[in-house]
């Protein structure tokens, strides 16, 4: 391949970021091998916001090493080396990588390659890769190495420990600068740090990885979210279920989870019977449906549950609240007739929109995934369900993209990804048709014709899980929960001991109105009390001194804004109650 320099006027949008990022991963590996001969390189894919490459090297990479590697990458990039496709026989490729001492590449070629093996070469570096790549290394200009972490070869915790170097790259310097700024802001908002600082939740190794302890403040926020969730579901005609945390292993065999789902904990044996911690709630809801004969008049049935499930995630992928092993899904299953399908899906979309907008999420990316090559169920049901999903999205005025053939094997689905304050996308809402479980559990209802008919089964989760959604909220708000969600809404700060009695009387009055308040009776000076309240991100601070005690008023300070002056107590209470009732995201005092 000839050297090719991007020219002015080239539409860089046509060159996929994935290609750019995968090419940058090769550049990273080239630099590492040049600087540290003998290092073995594993895989180096493009990922959502950049790229990484895994290496085996006895010495750990340091921050200083990353700086050297990045400098070497720039040197190789500026050399404008052509990136050439090389096709070898399988035997030639294995012999080549054997001479290079690259055992991981030999293993990959033996597992994945056909009779011909595609490689890409740049200078003295070559990699087993399907491509494509940019034409030459000087296309790779605006990059930055970000971090190094541990990884396992092929994700097997019993396998070889590797080092994973992460980086990012963009087409323009400005895009790179913007992304690095976003990373710095994201670090400040990291829910793991804020969770400790605000005393919301914790993890303990003695308890086990990925298992969350909700502290009183975090549990308060969760309760408020769940109360709102239940209220909105009652409004939309859902009925609530409670189901067990385990079931006989045979249930999961019948549902197909033992066959298709890898993240299940090992079975528990008791009295000669094997039981399984539930990874999902679906079979339980189906059994409630099957507990009696259903008629067409009974449908639709909408069953909802805040159901806790357990999935074994490898320790290397656990990440605060965002990736855990025990979590509570805001789950629901809808059983309906074919003629009800579109209205039910529209109802779910509208409910999701109401819930998400209450937390400040109003911008979405929406995807409709259609029938893959391998599927279960009748084609006519797939077509009817897909059309119902499409029509419901159009009626909801939600722009969407179609992911052709990307549905799971058991039904088409809608995915709604929210955008947070940093413009990051988060998968929350999924609306999924399921022809597989309907068949496996032989679901039926008696139709108007007196004959048995198969209902449509809709799985749906709107927030996703309480744990993950809470983590997203912490970072979205930067820990500054809106008043209606704040674990402590009001803190009363008496200036001197003689003001304690009035402060405690105010707290009692607030609690009678179901306002979450606290009194700081410490002997610290008022400036220190204010600083502590600001650090705890408490929305409303009431300063109580001689004037307020005499006038039976309060002096209000709003977190992040400052002093708002003296107010009558009844006026203050009415405003707070109004903001609570309307779930206001902004305060005006």
Q: Is residue 484 in some structural domain?
A: no
| Residue 285 forms part of a structural domain | yes
Q: Report how many domains make up the chain.
A: 3
Are 223 and 160 in the same domain? no
Q: Where are the alpha helices (DSSP H) in 90-172?
A: 90-99, 103-112
3-state secondary structure 267-336: CEEECCEEEEECCCCHHHHHHHHCCCCCEHHHCCEEEEEEEEEECCCCHHHCECCCECCEEEEEEEEEEE
Domain boundary among 477, 499, 514: 477
Q: Is 491 helix (H, G, I), strand (E, B) or coil?
A: strand
Q: Does 334 fall in a domain?
A: yes
Q: Confirm whether 265 is domain-assigned.
A: no
The residues carrying an active-site annotation are: 282, 311, 329, 331, 333, 413, 459
Instruction: Indicate whether 218 and 168 sit together in one domain.
Output: no
Do both 167 and 214 map to the same domain?
A: no
Let me know whether 399 and 512 are in one domain: no
Measured between alpha carbons, how far is 384 from 149 in angstroms, rounded to an integer? 47
Range of the domain at 101: 12-188
Residues 170 and 296 in one domain: no
Within a domain: 442:
yes
The CA-atom distances, in angstroms, between 86 and each of 32, 107, 443 are 22, 19, 55
Same domain, 506 and 370: no
| Within-domain flag for 296 | yes
Last residue of a domain, one of 448, 477, 506: 477
What is the H or E stretch that residue 554 is in?
A: strand 553-558
Instruction: Give, for all 589 residues of the chain, the pLDDT tens digit.
Output: 333 333 333 334 435 889 999 999 999 999 999 999 999 999 999 998 899 999 999 999 999 999 999 999 999 999 999 999 999 999 999 999 999 999 999 999 999 888 999 999 999 999 999 989 999 999 999 999 999 998 889 877 778 999 999 999 999 999 999 999 999 999 999 999 999 999 999 999 999 999 999 999 999 999 999 999 999 999 999 999 999 999 999 999 999 888 888 889 999 999 999 999 999 999 999 999 999 999 999 999 999 999 999 999 888 788 999 999 999 999 999 999 999 999 999 999 999 999 999 999 999 999 999 999 888 888 998 999 999 999 999 999 999 999 888 888 889 999 999 999 998 999 999 999 999 999 999 999 999 999 999 999 999 999 999 999 999 999 999 999 999 999 999 999 999 999 999 999 999 999 999 999 999 999 999 999 999 999 999 999 999 999 999 999 999 999 999 999 999 999 999 999 999 999 999 988 8
Residue 483 lies in a domain: no
User: 519 and 452, same structural domain?
Assistant: no
Asked if residue 332 and residue 209 are part of one domain, the reply reads: yes
Specify whether 432 is located in the same domain as 511. Answer: no
CATH number at residue 314: 3.30.930.10
CATH number at residue 146: 3.30.980.10
End-of-domain residue from the set 477, 504, 524:
477
Element (H, E) at 179: helix 173-188
Residues 458 and 506 in one domain: no
Task: Return d(Cα 386, Cα 342) in angstroms, integer.
Answer: 10
- Distance, in Å, from the CA atom of 104 to the CA atom of 110, rounded to the nearest integer, reads 10
Give the span between the Cα atoms of 182 and 425, in whole angstroms: 13
User: Is there a domain that residue 268 lies in?
Assistant: no
Placement of tokens 């940093």 in the chain: 422
Same domain, 234 and 182: no
> Is 371 in the same domain as 234?
yes
């Amino acid at each position: 391949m000839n050297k090719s320099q991007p020219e002015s006027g080239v539409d860089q949008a046509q060159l996929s970021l994935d290609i750019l990022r995968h090419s940058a991963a090769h550049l990273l590996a080239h630099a590492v091998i040049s600087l540290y001969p003998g290092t073995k390189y594993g895989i180096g894919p493009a990922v959502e916001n950049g790229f990484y490459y895994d290496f085996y090297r006895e010495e750990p990479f340091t921050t200083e090493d990353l700086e050297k590697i990045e400098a070497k990458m720039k040197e190789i990039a500026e050399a404008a080396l052509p990136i050439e496709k090389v096709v070898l026989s399988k035997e030639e490729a294995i012999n080549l990588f054997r001479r290079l001492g690259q055992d991981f590449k030999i293993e990959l070629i033996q597992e994945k390659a056909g009779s011909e093996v595609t490689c890409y070469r740049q200078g003295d570096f070559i990699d087993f890769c399907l491509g494509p790549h940019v034409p030459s290394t000087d296309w790779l200009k605006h990059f930055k190495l970000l971090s190094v972490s541990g990884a396992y070869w092929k994700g097997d915790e019993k396998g070889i420990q590797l080092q994973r170097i992460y980086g990012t790259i963009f087409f323009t310097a400005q895009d790179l600068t913007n992304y690095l700024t976003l990373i710095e802001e994201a670090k400040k908002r990291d829910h793991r740090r804020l969770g400790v600082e605000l005393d919301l939740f914790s993890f303990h190794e003695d308890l086990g990885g990925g298992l969350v302890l909700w502290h009183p403040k975090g549990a308060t926020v969760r309760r408020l979210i769940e109360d709102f969730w239940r209220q909105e579901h009652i409004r939309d005609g859902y009925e609530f279920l409670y189901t067990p945390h385990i079931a006989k292993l045979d249930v999961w065999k019948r549902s197909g989870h033992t066959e298709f789902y890898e993240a299940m904990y090992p079975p528990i044996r008791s009295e000669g019977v094997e039981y399984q911690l539930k990874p999902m709630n679906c079979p339980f809801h189906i059994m409630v449906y099957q507990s009696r004969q259903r008629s067409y008049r009974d449908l639709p049935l909408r069953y909802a549950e805040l159901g806790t499930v357990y999935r074994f995630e490898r320790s290397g992928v656990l990440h605060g609240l965002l990736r855990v092993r025990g979590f509570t899904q805001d789950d629901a299953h809808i059983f309906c007739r074919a003629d009800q399908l579109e209205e039910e899906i529209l109802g779910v979309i509208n409910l999701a929109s109401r819930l998400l907008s209450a937390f400040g999420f109003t911008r979405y990316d929406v995807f409709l995934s259609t029938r893959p090559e391998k599927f279960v169920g009748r084609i006519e049901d797939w077509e009817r369900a897909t059309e119902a999903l499409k029509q419901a999205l159009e009626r909801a005025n939600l722009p969407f993209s179609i992911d052709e053939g990307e549905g799971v094997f058991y039904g088409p689905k809608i995915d709604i990804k929210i955008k947070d304050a940093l413009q990051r996308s988060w998968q929350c809402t999924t609306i999924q048709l399921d022809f597989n479980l309907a068949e496996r559990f032989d679901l039926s209802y008696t139709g108007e014709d007196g004959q048995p008919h198969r209902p449509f089964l809709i799985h749906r989760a709107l927030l996703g899980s309480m744990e993950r959604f809470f983590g997203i909220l912490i970072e979205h708000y930067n820990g500054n929960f809106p008043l209606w969600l704040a674990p402590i809404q009001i803190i009363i700060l008496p200036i001197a001991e003689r003001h304690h009695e009035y402060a405690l009387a105010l707290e009692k009055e607030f609690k009678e109105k179901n306002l979450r308040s606290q009194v700081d009776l410490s002997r610290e000076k008022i400036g220190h009390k204010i600083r502590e309240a600001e650090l705890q991100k408490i929305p409303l601070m009431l300063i109580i001194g001689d004037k307020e005690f005499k006038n039976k008023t309060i002096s209000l300070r709003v977190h992040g804004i400052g002093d708002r002056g003296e107010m009558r107590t009844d006026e203050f209470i009415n405003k707070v109650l109004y903001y609570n009732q309307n779930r206001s995201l902004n305060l005006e005092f």
